[in-house]
Amino acid sequence: MGKDKLRKFAEVATFANVVQLDAGKAYKGQWASKFFKNNNPVVLELACGKGEYTVNLAKLFPQKNFLGIDYKGNRIWRGAKTAIEESIDNVGFLRIQIETILEQFAPGEVDEIWITFPDPQPQDSREKKRLTNPNFLARYKEILKEGGVMHLKTDNDGFYAYTVEQIENLKLNKIKETTDLYNSDLVDEVLSIKTYYERKYLADNKNINYVQWSF
Ligand SMILES: C[S@@+](CC[C@H](N)C(=O)[O-])C[C@H]1O[C@@H](n2cnc3c(N)ncnc32)[C@H](O)[C@@H]1O
């Protein structure tokens, strides 16, 4: 690990708005009351990287709690630092492998889940790592409350097609979809939030895919 990454990794451990690994289990079923100290809805951003959705959604919706989840501490550092500097209290970050999410959240605890530009894992042998494979979808279904909504934004057309195929195979409720968000009438203040990776893809004139569904 480079010097800067190491520094951020050490610093992130001191942030009050970051929970790491097994420490998250203490909040299971109590993220709103124990971590955010309120009774507001809990929204997750999976594969949050630097946490642009987490931070910007929190500014738009002060009556909800937002938790960014990723396993890279040096990326989480950016979003957590911004939230501290700007005194945004309805933001937290959880550094875990998303595979362990059932250890960290109780059934029905989560109101909404965003997945932002996940690694597409195109090789067949990596399907088990794709964040929208049926095993991951089953976990999200368990922690979401009844009617809770999922959102996926991705530049990767193959990953998008794979996800829509899972939604259709499992007969889930597809609510909105577009393969070209910025040339669609879906785009609004929320869907125009741009992540670090999204900006890179847009600079290359890549179309952005978006699908919203519930279980
Ligand atoms: C391509 S980056 C996207 C980051 C951010 N959402 C963005 O758009 O800028 C994918 C992120 O997913 C995280 N990630 C991938 N698989 C994960 C897993 N199983 N558990 C936790 N984080 C994961 C990586 O650490 C990385 O930060």
Read off the pLDDT of residues 152-199 as tens digits, 9 standing for 90 and up. Answer: 999 999 999 999 999 999 999 999 999 999 999 999 999 999 999 999
Ligand 1 atom nearest 118 alpha carbon: 10
Catalytic residue list: 119
Query: Does 1 score more than 80 pLDDT?
Result: no
Tokens, residue 61: 């919706």
**Strand 173-178 to strand 209-214: parallel, antiparallel, or no bridges (unpaired)?**
antiparallel
Distance 204 CA to ligand 1 centre (A): 20
Protein residue closest via CA to atom 12 of ligand 1? 47
Q: Degrees (nearest 5) of the Cα angle 39, 71, 134? A: 80
Phi and psi based region of residue 12 (left: phi greater than 0; alpha: psi -120 to 50; beta: remaining): alpha
Ligand 1 atom nearest 72 alpha carbon: 25
- Strand residue runs (E) in the chain: 18-20, 42-46, 65-70, 91-95, 110-116, 144-154, 173-178, 209-214
Tokens, residue 160: 């998008």
Distance 131 CA to ligand 1 centre (A): 10
To test the pocket of ligand 1, the residue of 19, 76, 119, 210 to mutate (highest count of ligand atoms within 8 Å of its CB) is 119
As beta bridge partners, residue 62 has: none
pLDDT at position 94, please?
98
Tokens, residue 17: 């708005």
CA 102, chain centre distance (Å): 15
Distance 154 CA to ligand 1 centre (A): 12
Ligand 1 atom nearest 70 alpha carbon: 22
Name the pTM for this structure: 0.98
pLDDT digit string (tens) for 9-53? 999 999 999 999 999 999 999 999 999 999 999 999 999 999 999
Distance 80 CA to ligand 1 centre (A): 16
Ligand 1 — pocket residues by CB below 6 A?
A: 47-50, 70-72, 75, 97-99, 116-119, 195-198
